[in-house]
Structure 1
Amino acid sequence: MSSTGVLLEHYYRELVGYLSARIGSRHAAEDIAHDAYVRVLERRDQAHISQPRAFLYRTAMNLVIDDHRRGAIRRAESLDVLETDERFFVAPDHAPSVHDERLDLLVRALDELGDACRQSFLLRKLEGLSHPEIAERLNISKPMVEKHIVNAMKHCRLRMRQWAES
């Protein structure tokens, strides 16, 4: 792992605490921190980041703002618009939907991961367990849970992007 990656791991708990205080939800803060880490790590491969901590925090706050905007837009839409939009996402029974294809790619990517990494990700994203709950269930440390989830997210995004391009 590069020095930037090591520095970023050092700031994980600090970032989650900061985000928790800003948005009032530790669970949401952990999700945003994971997404921010993946984005920064992906970006790091393309260019040198001179101030990784500042870049990580700015990325996380941009995600908070984006999430807030999406929530405000969803709240402002009428039910008629949502029902109409929903029909565009549902494919006929005889044709696979884009959603199904993306889900298949995600499953393929998750199958490439080690068991603890895959289980940490699934317990967090599907069952909504907290990091301490996952650590207890899998009998691993909380920092290892955090590392597994970030690695799983990065791997899945990378593989899905690769498969989509081919």
Structure 2
Amino acid sequence: MLAEHRPQLIRFFTSRTGDAAEAEDVVQEIWLHVARAGGGPIAHPLAYLHRVGMNITLDRLRERRRRERREQGWTDATTATAGNQAVDEAPSPLAVAEGRERIRALGAAIDKLPPGAARVFRRHKLDGLSHAEIAAELGISRSAVEKHIAVALRHLREALE
């Protein structure tokens, strides 16, 4: 049934989709649908094939639109624009490698801080405590906390330069 109407179906679905390759895919899917459906007498075989093909075409169109919306949403969420141009804000592999090296150097420099400065620096910068909270915890003045932070920052700046 399909073989005798194939050229007509290709022309019909090419006119509907605007793409001969898409029409070939639709006709192939029609064949799969007919093969799965089993057989029973069909009163109007050509009309049946057109209806199955139109349903397939609409399903493919809906899927394409869903995919485009999904991809556009992803693009909007992950890409910045400058004017009409998309700008990739992701760091380059070189920048990532340099950042990792810088973090490794910072960790090594923190490990080499004097003990008092290291303890105060970690509590303030890594644990998020205020100068007053650190002073109360360690039993030192706020001024001493500020001096420890200054020593730590100076030491780290020198180590990273």
- TM-score normalised to structure 2 length: 0.42
Larger gyration radius, structure 1 or structure 2: 2
- TM-score normalised to structure 1 length: 0.41
Which has the bigger relative contact order, CA under 8 A and spacing at least 6? 1
